[in-house]
Amino acid sequence: MDIRKVGIIGAGHMGAGIAHVCALAGHEVLLKDTSLQISERALATINGHLAKQVRKGRISEAERSAALEKIHAVDDYEPFATCDLVIEAVTESEEVKRQVFAELCPHLPPATLIGTNTSSISITRLAAATDRPEKFMGIHFMNPAPLMELVELIRGIATADETFHTVRAFVIGLGKTPAVAEDFPAFIVNRILLPMINEAIYALYEGVGTVEAIDTAMKLGAHHPMGPLELADFIGLDTCLNLMQVLYEGLADSKYRPCPLLVKYVEAGWLGRKTRRGFYDYHGDEPVPTR
């Protein structure tokens, strides 16, 4: 089966990024969110990112224009009946995702595949909320999707071989490199990355170093492009906490216990860049450590 037309549910940062990547690779894309206005704002954002790629010489103006013409904002699920693959990229909540699948599936023909961009939730459980678990799998793009080369592919217990091979070929066609993960909490990247971030927060909490010292140490001492606290702000501290809770509850190991300081920041609404305050304050021209 060839994937020609892709539906994307969720026009936030990840959904818009996935739409960007798919359109640039030549696929027709339908983009849906809770309102048409949100999807249309995402189109403007995608246009800005494509224009930036043109300025940097990564794509041509013709490629930018062609990609933008391939993305269409829609405000209901009916047009998704024409899609070969639908990728869900809504908020990281199992309840919300299950509701999306309940509303989506009645509009899809039997052959349409469904993917989820979840970064942590059981693929097998999500697949069971659809009418086609054999045609369902995890397609986890890294953030930001247009720049990051990796896509994690995760099969549920019922995922058919044909589904896996079709999706794998699709991901390679996007110019991405697939990494196959088993259906364990947080998969590969976040299983390794989030405990490192959580440990950096513990180091701050226990007074081992300041925000600036911890980030500088990891950037210069381990050649990380971003310090772990800076990265946590970029990801979103609420997302980091959610992922650590999935690991802690799913694997029942105390080493995954979320740092109390992370919990406090989330309770305070200090979620990182998106709220302009987290481990850094982003209200000025330059980020300033908050501790």
In order of start, what are the domains of the chain with their CATH numbers? 5-181 (3.40.50.720), 190-282 (1.10.1040.10)
Residue 212 makes CB contacts below 8 A (sequence gap 6+) with: 289
Cβ-contact 116, 138 below 8 angstroms: yes
Give the tens place of pLDDT for each residue, 213-237. Answer: 999 999 999 999 999 999 999 999 9
Pairing of strands 113-116, 85-88: parallel
Percent of the chain with pLDDT over 70: 100
Give the tens place of pLDDT for each residue, 149-192. Answer: 999 999 999 999 999 999 999 999 999 999 999 999 999 999 99
Clarify whether 199 is annotated catalytic. Answer: no
Catalytic choice (140, 198, 230, 242): 140
Clarify whether 117 is annotated catalytic. Answer: no
Give the tens place of pLDDT for each residue, 99-147. Answer: 999 999 999 999 999 999 999 999 999 999 999 999 999 999 999 999 9
Clarify whether 190 is annotated catalytic. Answer: yes
Cβ-contact 137, 156 below 8 angstroms: yes
> Helices 228-235 & 237-251, crossing angle to 10 degrees?
100
Radius of gyration of the chain from Cα atoms?
19
Alpha helix segments (H runs only) across the chain: 13-24, 36-55, 61-69, 94-104, 123-127, 161-173, 189-205, 211-221, 228-235, 237-251, 260-267
Residue 290 neighbours by CB distance under 10 Å: 14
Clarify whether 140 is annotated catalytic. Answer: yes
Alpha helix segments (H runs only) across 128-160: none
Mean of the pLDDT values across residues 63-74? 97
